[in-house]
Amino acid sequence: MGRKIEEAFPALWHTLDISQYSQSVSESQKGRISVSRGVTKLHILPFLYVTSKMWEPANCCGCCTRKEGSLTIGILHLIATLIGIFVMIWAVSFVTQEHIKDQICHDQVYCLDIYNNAVTGIAFVIFLILAVELSFASMLIHGVRTDNACLMVPQMILMLLCLIITTIGALAQLVHAFVVVSALAGIFCMVINSLSIFFSTFLLLVLRSHRRDLLRDSGSMHARLTEEAELPAERIEFSPKY
């Protein structure tokens, strides 16, 4: 396993080598450093080896390239975030109306104070999250347009976190549907949540594939091996020697 990892990531393996240290380091220190960096190799490189084998979509949804799909994902996230901001502005203006407060608190002073503080805190947190999503979507769009792989990372991390939260929520909702409601409701929730998780995972893989394309073009990553190979212009014959 270690030999395969070393062959898959030769550049990273050699950058972790002890030979890059100066000659002034004592032999005992070199031994300790070598052991610690060997442990680092065993922890980091297996993860990189596994992630390098992940599936890369050839295109996005079968209708556009990975770059166009990544740009479309960024634009859709940007539009959804802007819609969310306008919805939040309307919701805050609605719940802060006087007749809404009267229906909830019935002119009780302490209730009004709690209500106002709760609305302010919740609105602040949601607007902060939307601002982060807006900035990450803008960075993704600019990164795809300018072929900057680093600007794609924040949106990918955000999508991964949302995918994890969605998966946990889907499992809890599935258990609740099967136990409390009915088997039919559980099957319906399972189908809807599975499609949602699959689609979110596919979009994340499209972004990851395009980012890896940019890294390969810039020379920061080894080229992806394919089964296609160009034949040499001249045929070279080798005669066995006994």
241 within a domain of the structure (yes/no): no
Same domain, 43 and 85: no
Q: What is the DSSP letter of 221?
A: S
Residue whose pair of structure tokens reads 């088997």 in the numeric block: 183
Element of type H or E holding 180: none
For residue 103, tell me if it sits in a domain: yes
Same domain, 83 and 7: no
Same domain, 90 and 154: yes
Query: Tens of pLDDT along 55-66?
Result: 778 878 888 888
Is 8 within a domain? yes
| Confidence band for 168, pLDDT divided at 50, 70 and 90 | very high
- Please compute the mean of the pLDDT values over residues 213-227 and round it to a whole number: 66
118 and 35 share one domain? no
First-to-last C-alpha distance (Å) of the chain: 35
> For position 55, what pLDDT does the model report?
74
Whole-number pLDDT of residue 236: 46
pLDDT confidence bin for 131, thresholds 50/70/90: very high
Average pLDDT over residues 88-99: 83
State the total domains in the chain: 2
* pLDDT computed for residue 76 by the predictor: 93
Residue 127 to residue 120: CA distance in whole angstroms: 10
pLDDT tens, residue by residue, 95-121: 877 777 777 777 677 777 788 888 888
Co-location of 152 and 126 in the same domain: yes
Structural domain span for residue 41 = 2-52
In sequence order, the β-bridge partners of residue 64 are 60
Tell me the average pLDDT across 64-72: 89
